[in-house]
Amino acid sequence: MDKRITIAIDGYSSSGKSTFAREIAKELGYIYIDSGAMYRAATLYCIRKGLAGRDVIDIQGIAEAMKEIRIEFVYNPDSGESETYLNSENVEKEIRGLDVSAHVSAISKISEVRTRLVELQKQMGANRGIVMDGRDIGTTVFPDADLKIFMTAPVDIRAKRRYEELKNKGIDASFEEIRNNIVARDITDENRDISPLRRAGDAVILDNSRMSIAGQMEWVRKLIEEKLHDR
Ligand code: DC
């Protein structure tokens, strides 16, 4: 019997999903997939091709471009983390910058983009033993996930976290700019027609405003044990 489970983590931008999901995957020896990085890589490709920009959004061209992209996660032993590759190029740093952040919600709204990326995500999770984070993982990508968690925290706390994260990566941005971007993305993520950000009915809510990562791990371990026991 396969005792491995599928864990879906959804929630608002910068609610700490990636850190938490990565830690769970590490502890269980599961694959971790950052689905947001896939939308970011697709967005970078469209920006570079001139299909998305300040006054352009070429839906037809973007739909076509989706056939040309390959996204992989490759483990970097130096950093101890998986990094995002777009058509064999390491784009991990570039996809976190403000240019990609400013356009990613608009690209994520396009149905051809979602269809393609959801298809890739389903393939990645076909053998279970996966932790994936995003906005629609528990609702659309893995509606049958064994454990679904929906994460949230107030916008100021999330903006502060993103600010620190970017600063540590050597990316320059003001707190105000980051906060505005997060507010704008919350609105687009919750209001898009296809797969909007929603808590799945069977997802457990986690407000981690006052929780350390160790505290979050302690909280989730009990849930995981129950799910493993049920399988
Ligand atoms: O998790 P993140 O902030 O890196 O995600 C970047 C953007 O990608 C986010 O604004 C919305 C989009 N996204 C999405 O639409 N669906 C997902 N499953 C993950 C991310």
Amino acid 231: pLDDT? 80
Q: Which residues line ligand 1 (CB under 6 A)?
A: 13, 35-36, 39-40, 104-105, 108, 134-137, 185, 189
Measured from the Cα of 137, ligand 1's closest atom is 18
End-to-end Cα separation, the chain, in angstroms: 8
Amino acid 159: pLDDT? 96
The list of the chain residues with pLDDT below 70 reads: 1-2
Compute φ and ψ for 150, nearest 5 degrees. Answer: -115, 120
Q: How far is the CA of 1 from the centre of ligand 1 (A)?
A: 34
Q: How far is the CA of 105 from the centre of ligand 1 (A)?
A: 7
Q: State the Cα–Cα distance between residues 208 and 213, nearest whole angstrom.
A: 9
Amino acid 1: pLDDT? 56
Q: Whose CA is nearest to atom 2 of ligand 1?
A: 36
Determine the residue type at 64: E
- Tell me the domain boundaries of the chain: 6-230
Q: Which CATH class is domain 6-230?
A: alpha beta
CB atoms within 10 A of CB 34: 21
- Alpha helix stretches (DSSP H) within the chain: 17-28, 35-48, 59-65, 98-108, 111-124, 155-168, 175-191, 213-230
Q: Write out the two tokens for 73.
A: 């996660």
Element (H, E) at 150: strand 147-152
Q: Whose CA is nearest to atom 11 of ligand 1?
A: 105
Amino acid 73: pLDDT? 93
